[in-house]
Amino acid sequence: MTLLADIREAPPVEPGQNLATVSNRVSDIALRMPTPRWWWAGFGASFLLFIILCIAAGNLFVSGIGIWGVNIPVAWGFALANYVWWIGVASGGTIISALFFITRSEWRTAVNRVAETMTLFAAAAAGLMPIFHLGRQGLFYWLFPYPNVMGIWPQFRSPLLWDFFALLCYIIASILFWYIGLLPDWAALRDRAPTRWQQVFYGTLACGWTGAARHWKRFRVVYGIMCAFMAPMVMSVHSIVGLDFAGGLTPGWHSTQFPPYFVFGAVYSGFATVLFLVLPIRRLYRLEAFITEYHINALAKMMLATGLMLTYSYALEAFMPYYSGNPYDVKQIRNDFFDLYALQYWGKILFNVVIPQLLWFPRLRLNEPLLFLVSVGIIFGMWLERYVIVVSSLYQDFMPSAWYFFAGSLWDWLTLAGSIGLFLTGIFIFLRLVPIIAMFEMRELVHREEGAG
Amino acid sequence: MSTPELYGIAAEFTTAEAVTAAARHIKNAGFRRFEAYTPMPVEALDELIAGKQVALPLLIFCFGCIGFLVGFFMQYYLAVVDYPINVGGRPLNSWPAFGPITFEITVVFAVGGAFLAWFIFNRLPRLGTPLSAIPGFERATIDRYFLCVEASDPRFDRARLRWLFERCGAHRIAEVAA
């Protein structure tokens, strides 16, 4: 097939680029380009959703958890599903950036900035959810081990507390990692800034970076070490999210496969979200020369691969109850298959397992509208997965008298929509102010290609 | 007319190969206090200028160790010494359960330490370098390569450096005021 050969030959950056064109093209987006119309439209819509989040949260703080659909036994509803969903997207971004830096994958260069930024805002959206879900949000600081007049401490043997520490440490480390990777690019923006406020703004962020050889050497040392820490950290963060569930005795949760199962899902949704962002960005900002079909193809293949890992976990999830013979586990998986939340269960199978099989075909992988839709489907499917895990495992308790049908209330849905608004608002601000491609890594790549060519 | 105090002499090059060759010449000529400014990491310059940088990874390792000790013994003290809870007769020092938080705190100490150490080692943040004043230096972050020999170098000699830079194919040579 000629197409296959073409893709294999496709360069990670289009020929004809040099150091100056890389810098000019990427930095002009932030510095000189007039704000495009689509940006105002997208930002406006996202900001509206963000305001909805503020309203939903405000009502929650005033009225309490009762405005949501949760009730015993479904005490974990949307907030937990949203939490796992967002932290999954965040984790996927770090994996792309850190793990594939360690493997020196060339396709990472053009998309790592988008992936890291996505991590930040997704982690912010994720971090809000458990706090919302506390009945008394103002007391969230009780999770910190701080000396208090009650003379007690948090329970360090609980996965939920591990989760608090993991998320907190992860957000701090992600911000530092993101910022240090941006320094050389802030400096490039500073040096090309046409107006005074931009010089001051980017100059402040650049912290006086000049690209001295000693600084570069230390930069590479520190960046490599940070990647080597971030990659296992992100695995641990999402494994701990899995342990939140596995640590409970509830059928459907109490499974040793949950940590890797959740990590697969996280990376999967990370790839889907990166594609969801990168496909339109490269067209709208005309960055086809830097984010080429090579990247699209690589991302789609990685997405397919992680999708298959997740499929394996789904299969195991269905197989183990029958293999163990535990009647409660069997009942749980039969509930998933056939009962009230079967639609959501089969929806997740459709979006996460069946449709992505299209990506086996190179022609379909490079069909951008189709790939975009598949990615959106996966993002949606991943939310369904978490919804099923949380709700379907809880609604039929050990006590039939307590069985309960859970459905999200209006405020549940508004909170979900609002968290998407928070994420997209952040992304749109990033698209306007931050170099959306790591320019110095791109220069290295261009330089290497020039040497090779 | 008195000459203003000198920071050094800088030369501008158009390729990474040229600046590497020039740095090698400068080093072979016995100069020690010089620095290159490049828009991207140039590996060949690492050994010529930056050396091995052993201290930085060691320091980050120490930060990680401190994080490990802080993370573990915080939990140990709080859950074993200060507020022991008997959970089903299991040992109070249930160290496997302390693992995840210990790990997260180790990582955040190492990453945070790396971040701080990097800034301190580089003497950043600062407002600028004397080189910022020379024309065209703003391209050091875009597509040009600069090499600057500092006046504090014991062998510093204006005329000789100019001649050396020219022989190495410098695009432009400028004296940098301190």
Is residue B114 within 8 A of residue A226, CB to CB? The reply is yes
CB contact under 8 A, A211 and B49: no
- What is the reported pLDDT for A13? 85
> Are B60 and B115 part of one and the same domain?
yes
Indicate the pLDDT class of residue B52, thresholds 50, 70 and 90.
confident
Residue B5 has what DSSP assignment? Answer: P
The secondary structure of residue B155, as a DSSP letter, is: T
B1: in domain:
no
pLDDT mean over A416-442: 96
A241 contact partners, CB below 8 Å, separation of at least 6: A83, A84, A87, A163, A166, A262
CATH number at residue B12: 3.30.70
The secondary element (H helix, E strand) that includes residue B99 is: helix B95-121
Question: Which of B16, B37, B142 shows the shortest C-beta gap to A188?
Answer: B142
Is it true that domain A2-145+153-452 has CATH number 1.20.1630.10?
A: yes
- The enclosing H or E element of B35 equals strand B34-37
CA A123 distance to own-chain centroid: 7
**Secondary structure of B9-23 in the HEC alphabet?**
EEEEECCHHHHHHHH
Q: Name the nearest CA neighbour of A379 among A167, A118, A164.
A: A118
What whole-number distance in Å separates Cα of residue A221 and Cα of residue B122?
13
By the CB < 8 Å criterion, does B41 face chain A?
yes
Contacts of A28 (CB under 8 A, 6+ apart): none
| Beta-carbon contacts of residue B87 (< 8 Å; ≥ 6 apart) | A157, B94
Backbone angles phi, psi at B11, to 5 degrees: -125, 145
d(CA B32, CA A150): 62
Does the residue B21 lie in any domain?
Answer: yes
Q: Between chains, do B50 and A152 touch, taking CB under 8 Å as contact?
A: no
Residue-range definition of the domain harbouring residue B16: 6-51+129-177
Question: A349-385: buried (b, 16+ CB within 10 Å) or exposed (e) per residue?
Answer: bebbbebbebbeebeebbbeeebbebbebbbbbbbbb
Task: Categorize the per-residue pLDDT at A9 as very low, low, confident or very high, splitting at 50, 70 and 90.
Answer: low
Given a contact cutoff of 8 angstroms between Cβ atoms, the answer to whether A207 and A129 are in contact is no
Residue A116, judged by CB atoms within 10 A of its CB (0-12, 13-18, 19+), counts as: buried
H helices of A208-292, where? 213-246, 258-284
pLDDT of residue A450: 79
For the segment A9-21, the average pLDDT, to the nearest whole number, is: 82
Domain end among B99, B121, B143: B121
- Asked whether the predicted pLDDT for residue A351 surpasses 90, the reply is yes
The answer to whether A74 touches A391, Cβ cutoff 8 Å, is yes
Q: Which of B121, B139, B161 is the last residue of a domain?
A: B121
Domain final position from B77, B92, B121: B121
Query: Facing residues of B36 across strands?
Result: B147
User: Model confidence at A7, in pLDDT bands (50, 70, 90)?
Assistant: low
Q: Please state, in angstroms and rounded to a whole number, the distance separating the CA atoms of residues B77 and B88.
A: 20
The CA R_g of chain B, rounded to the nearest whole Å, is 25
Instruction: Compute how many other C-beta atoms are within 10 angstroms of the C-beta atom of residue B126.
Output: 11
In chain A, the percentage of residues whose pLDDT exceeds 70 is 98
B41 contact residues in A (CB cutoff 8 A): 216-217, 219-220, 440, 444
Looking at the structure, tell me whether residues B67 and B82 fall in a common domain: yes
Using only C-alpha atoms, chain A has a radius of gyration, in whole angstroms, of: 23
- Chain A CB contacts of B134 under 8 Å are none
By C-alpha distance, the chain B residue nearest A22 is: B142
Task: For residues A264 and A273, give the distance between their C-alpha atoms in angstroms, rounded to a whole number.
Answer: 14
Q: How many CB pairs under 8 A join A and B?
A: 190
**Cα A112 from Cα A398, distance rounded (Å):** 46
Token couple for A304: 């397919």
What does the pLDDT look like over A204-259, one tens digit per residue?
Answer: 999 999 999 999 999 999 999 999 999 999 999 999 999 999 998 899 999 999 99
Q: What is the least distance, in Å, from the CA of A430 to any CA of chain B?
A: 21
Return d(Cα A433, Cα A29) in angstroms, integer: 8
Q: How many helices (H) and strands (E) does chain B have?
A: 5, 4
For B164-175, what is the mean pLDDT? Answer: 92
How far, in Å, CA of B56 to CA of B46, rounded?
15
B108·A173 Cβ contact <8 A: yes
Whether the predicted pLDDT of B146 surpasses 50: yes
pLDDT at A1: 42
User: Token match 């206090």: residue?
Assistant: B33
Q: How many residues does chain B have?
A: 178
pLDDT at B1: 41
Into how many domains does chain B fold?
2
| Contact yes or no for A170 and B60 at CB 8 A | no
Domain boundaries, chain A: 2-145+153-452
Strand partners, B35: B148
pLDDT over 50 at A350, yes or no = yes
Do A229 and B118 make contact, defined as CB atoms within 8 angstroms?
no
Q: Which amino acid is at B176?
A: V
CA B36, B42, B48, B50 dihedral sign is: positive
- Contact (CB, 8 A) for A315 and A29: no
The per-residue b/e assignment along A397-414, b for 16 or more CB within 10 angstroms, e otherwise, is eeeeeeeeebebbebbeb
Residue B166, domain member (yes or no): yes
Q: How far is B134 from chain A (nearest CA, A)?
A: 13
Residue type, A106: E
CB atoms closer than 10 angstroms to residue B43: 12
CB contact under 8 A, A20 and B60: no
CA A439 to the chain's CA centroid: 22
Estimate the crossing angle of helix A258-284 against helix A108-133, to 10 degrees: 120
Q: Would residue B153 count as lying in a domain?
A: yes
Mutate to test the interface with A, among B106, B141, B145 (most CBs of A within 10 A): B141
Straight-line distance from the first to the last Cα atom of chain B, in angstroms, rounded to the nearest whole number: 17
**Beta carbons of B107 and A229 less than 8 Å apart:** yes
Q: Is B163 on the interface with A (CB under 8 A)?
A: no
Reported as a single tens digit per residue, the pLDDT across A170-183 is 999 999 999 999 99
CB contact at 8 A, A115 and A93:
yes
Q: Which residues pair with B59 in a beta bridge?
A: none
pLDDT at B8 over 90: yes
Q: What integer best gives the mean pLDDT of chain A?
A: 93
Q: Containing H/E element for A310?
A: helix A293-324
Residues of chain A with Cβ-Cβ distance to B128 below 8 Å are 208, 210
- Shared-domain flag, residues B137 and B163: yes
Mean model confidence pLDDT for chain B: 92
Looking at the DSSP assignment, which residues form a beta bridge with residue B145?
A: B13
Closest partner residue to B118 among A19, A24, A222, by Cβ? A222
Tokens of A75: 């005490």
- The neighbouring-strand residues paired with B176 are B8
Which secondary structure element, helix H or strand E, spans residue A440, and what is its range?
A: helix A439-452
Is residue B168 assigned to a domain?
A: yes
- If 0-12 CB within 10 Å is exposed, 13-18 middle and 19+ buried, where does residue A286 land? exposed
Contacts of A212 (CB under 8 A, 6+ apart): B35, B36, B37, B122
Looking at the complex, does the CB of residue B100 fall below 8 Å from at least one CB of chain A?
A: yes
Task: Give pLDDT tens digits for A371-424.
Answer: 999 999 999 999 999 999 999 999 998 889 989 899 999 999 999 999 999 999
* Residue among B57, B75, B104 minimizing CB distance to A166: B104
